[in-house]
Amino acid sequence: MYGVSQTVKRAYRYRFYPTDEQAGELARTFGCVRLVYNKALDERTRAHTLDGRRISYVESSAALTEWKRTEDLAFLNEVSCVPLQQALRHLQAAFANFFAKRARYPAFKSRKRSRASAEYTRSGFRYRHGTLTLAKMEQPLAIVWSRPLPQGAQPSTITVSRDAAGRWFVSILVEQKVAPLAPVTERVGVDVGITALVTLSSGEKIDNPKHERADRKKLAKAQQALARKQKGSNNWARARTSVARVYARITDRRRDYLHKVTTRLVRENQAIAVEDLTVSNMVKNHNLARVVSDASWRELRTMLEYKTAWYGRELLAVNRWFPSSKLCSACGILREDMPLGVRSWECACGASHDRDVNAAKNILAAGLAER
């Protein structure tokens, strides 16, 4: 053993195919979850705005009980109460983050734009012998077990969702012991980019597949077909699903590639240094938004964060204002200007630099210095 194993919460996501009855039950549950969340948010907002009073989760839960007793909202009793209570808990967490200045004020959930999902805790499902049955359902879900759950794992939370492409997924949260990887001596600096997804301080450049660009023609064709349909018609709904399927293909391929890249970096290096970029600000630039979103730097960083924490590696974040590109990694001289069009340059000390490789070397040095 190279270290003490730690218990982490890990979600396993699977696709499933509901029966018509199950699909109807879940669709009703999604609608009720959204309604309860929005109604509770409305009451909290009015109380905070008019009276300067904060409503607690306990008060919202008591209000939910009263709503169920009214004639207009009696249909809330037809679905499992567990996802409704979870919606209130999520709202409570959203307000806690807002008051702690970690997030913006909670927003209302839109039927068209919000993800259709419902969360079940242990009292809302039954998992036995590899079959999963949700509350209010007689038959288990027809899950495609693309990979097995850890042996002996017992789900603590189940999240059922349907994406815009009409695909159904179940995310199973379990507690799992993860052993750290064997220590290695290699350390690497990572400079993210567009032509190359990442450039390493070792000089290696990992290509950016540009999945959105690869499917751009297919996406444009689907969007043109959607634009020709009458909004709200059945043909429009089918065309809208076709567009969503193209987006889903792009997203799935991008996520799979990022998992492979980040897993390799974590396995091969003991310490990984990255720039602490503010991607949300960068996508405000209309000239860069599309390519930056396609590269998905934020998701890359998130994957590195939890994988290094799981496997006993170290992630070093370098200040976003650090002049990694303008600093000579050989002598430390700082150039006054470095336009984006300059991809290679020669320092006064005689060192020749590839812009991205030089930046990755400087990021590694800065990350190690700030430990």
The pLDDT, as a whole number, for residue 174 is: 94
For residue 16, CA distances in Å to 21, 42, 49, 160 come to 14, 34, 43, 10
**pLDDT tens-digit readout, 14-29:** 999 999 999 999 999 9
Quote the pTM value. 0.85
pLDDT over 80 (residue 280) = no
pLDDT at 318 over 60: yes
Question: Is 356 noted as a catalytic residue in this protein?
Answer: yes
User: For the chain, where do the domains classified as CATH 3.30.420 start and end?
Assistant: 187-208+252-369
Please check the confidence at residue 284 and state whether its pLDDT lies above 80.
Answer: no
Q: What confidence score (pLDDT) does residue 214 get?
A: 83
pLDDT at 161: 97
Q: Is pLDDT of 1 > 60?
A: no
Closest by Cα among 101, 171, 188, 164 to 364 = 188
Burial 219-247 (b: 16+ CB within 10 A, else e): beebeebbeeeeeeeeebeebbebbbbbb
Asked if residue 155 lies in contact with residue 125, where contact means CB atoms within 8 angstroms, the answer is yes
Architecture, CATH, for domain 187-208+252-369: 2-Layer Sandwich (3.30)
139 pLDDT exceeds 50? yes
Q: What is the pLDDT of residue 186?
A: 95
How does pLDDT run across 40-67, given as a tens digit for each residue? Answer: 999 999 998 888 889 999 999 999 999 9
- From 191, 215, 252, 336, the catalytic residue: 191
Catalytic residue among 25, 212, 294, 356: 356
- The model's confidence at residue 282, banded by pLDDT at 50, 70 and 90, is low
Mean pLDDT to the nearest integer, 117-131: 94
- Please identify which of the residues 25, 119, 212, 275 carries the catalytic annotation: 275
CB 119 within 8 A of CB 7: no
Tell me, yes or no, if 191 is annotated catalytic: yes
51 in catalytic set: no
